[in-house]
Amino acid sequence: MGLESKLPNGVLLTNLEKFVNYGRSTSMWPATFGLACCAIEMMSAGGPRHDMARFGMEVFRASPRQADLMIVAGRLSNKMAPVLRRIYDQMSDPKWVISMGVCATSGGMFNNYALVQGVDHVVPVDMYVPGCPPRPEMLMDGILKLHAKVRGEQFADKAARS
Ligand code: SF4
């Protein structure tokens, strides 16, 4: 419409949804939560070599009430499933879940009675990261793809899903 040329410098036009989603995607705080070997790669992603701080998310919160991202890093046992669900329920809304590694996503090689065959039976998963274990670069890729997904979310859809 040619409106941009009439605006003074420093003025941006956007809508509330895009503005809020930008803030959400660039300030995710993960819960301190690891289940098995994949968690070592997740910890490495937070270290200086990979440096998750570049994306506004270096703060792994010790309390789920201060976290809005759950990275399920490793296999989930049936015994642990209610605990995982409780932590998810205690996290602040809106919140997101990454399933990291084949064990979290599908049970992986552990096709037995003791393990949940996919954490999406317990919590809604937003992004799946393949591998056994996924390297920190793969986790970072999954996180960046989640950021892009969050920027395109609509408030009503997100609220209905939670
Ligand atoms: S996917 Fe591989 S590295 Fe990750 S928890 Fe399972 S066995 Fe361990």
DSSP assigned state of 141: H
Cβ atoms within 10 A of the Cβ of 139, count? Answer: 27
pLDDT (mean) for 123-149: 94
Site to substitute for ligand 1 among 132, 138, 139, most atoms within 8 A of C-beta: 132
Task: State yes or no: 37 annotated in a binding site.
Answer: yes
Given a cut of 90, is residue 4 above it in pLDDT?
no
pLDDT, tens digit, 9 for 90 and up, residues 12-69: 778 889 899 999 999 899 998 889 999 999 999 988 898 888 888 878 888 999 999 9
Given a cut of 80, is residue 156 above it in pLDDT?
no
Q: Which residues contact 82 (CB under 8 A, 6 or more apart)?
A: none
> What's the CA gap between 140 and 147, in Å, rounded?
10
Residue with the nearest Cα to atom 8 of ligand 1? 37
Domain 15-151 belongs in CATH node 3.40.50.12280: yes
> What's the CA gap between 79 and 131, in Å, rounded?
24
Minimum mean pLDDT among 139-143, 144-148, 149-153: which range? 149-153
pLDDT (mean) for 118-130: 95
Given a cut of 80, is residue 7 above it in pLDDT?
no
Task: State yes or no: 151 annotated in a binding site.
Answer: no
Given a cut of 90, is residue 104 above it in pLDDT?
yes
Residue with the nearest Cα to atom 7 of ligand 1? 132
Q: Is the CB of 122 under 6 A from ligand 1?
A: no
Would you tell me the crossing angle of helices 136-151 and 38-46 to the nearest 10 degrees? 70
97, 72 in Cβ contact below 8 A? yes
Residue with the nearest Cα to atom 5 of ligand 1? 74
Q: Is the CB of 72 under 6 A from ligand 1?
A: no
| pLDDT score of 160 | 65
| pLDDT score of 141 | 95
